[in-house]
Amino acid sequence: MKDIYRDIDLSDETMELIKEARAVTDSVFGRGIFIRGIIEYSNICRKNCTYCGIRADMAGINRYRLSEDEIVDIAENHIKNGIKTVVLQGGEGSSVVTEYLCRVIEESRNMILNLLLLFQSAGKAMRNIVI
């Protein structure tokens, strides 16, 4: 095991537990690194989550929403660069946004069969979408 714990006073029992945890992690996930691309399709949001930098009341932000073609082009570029997982990220919008994202997913599936789309931070509006 590398020396990442050298400056921490850990008991032998704790060190053994760390080694066992590392072995289990390695056997399940391997030692690979997984890179995901992010496409922030919009920074428009109707919610005011206090932790969020794109919340509705946040002043001084130039708001945007990428077109469907722009999202597909960016996803294709990720694929060309070896990134197979893309996170679509954006503020929570209306049902129009849900329909818009459904069209993007359909278009992406038709054009880029190896692309896995994940949703993160798309808000509650996306909770019933099955990919």
Q: Are residues 9 and 53 in the same domain?
A: no
Q: Please report whether residue 105 resides in a domain.
A: yes
Q: Please report whether residue 56 resides in a domain.
A: yes
Range of the domain at 19: 1-31
Q: Please report whether residue 13 resides in a domain.
A: yes
Q: Please report whether residue 21 resides in a domain.
A: yes
Average pLDDT over residues 45-68: 90
Q: Are residues 40 and 21 in the same domain?
A: no
Contacts of 76 (CB under 8 A, 6+ apart): 111, 112
User: Residue 5: pLDDT above 60?
Assistant: yes
User: Residue 121: pLDDT above 70?
Assistant: no
**Tell me, what's the pLDDT at 27?**
93
Range among 8-12, 38-42, 86-90, 122-126 rated most confident: 38-42
Q: Are residues 22 and 56 in the same domain?
A: no
User: Residue 9: pLDDT above 50?
Assistant: yes
Would you call 110 exposed, middle or buried from its count of C-beta atoms within 10 A (0-12, 13-18, 19+)? exposed
Q: Are residues 23 and 58 in the same domain?
A: no
Judge whether 7 and 25 are in contact, CB under 8 Å: no
Rounded-to-integer distance, Cα 52 and Cα 71, Å: 22
Average pLDDT over residues 24-40: 87
Comparing 19 with 131, the larger pLDDT belongs to 19
Q: Please report whether residue 80 resides in a domain.
A: yes
> DSSP string spanning 68-79?
HHHHHHHHHHHH
Q: Are residues 71 and 96 in the same domain?
A: yes
- Kindly report the number of other CB atoms within 10 A of residue 65's CB atom: 16
Domain count, the chain: 2
pTM of the model as a whole: 0.61
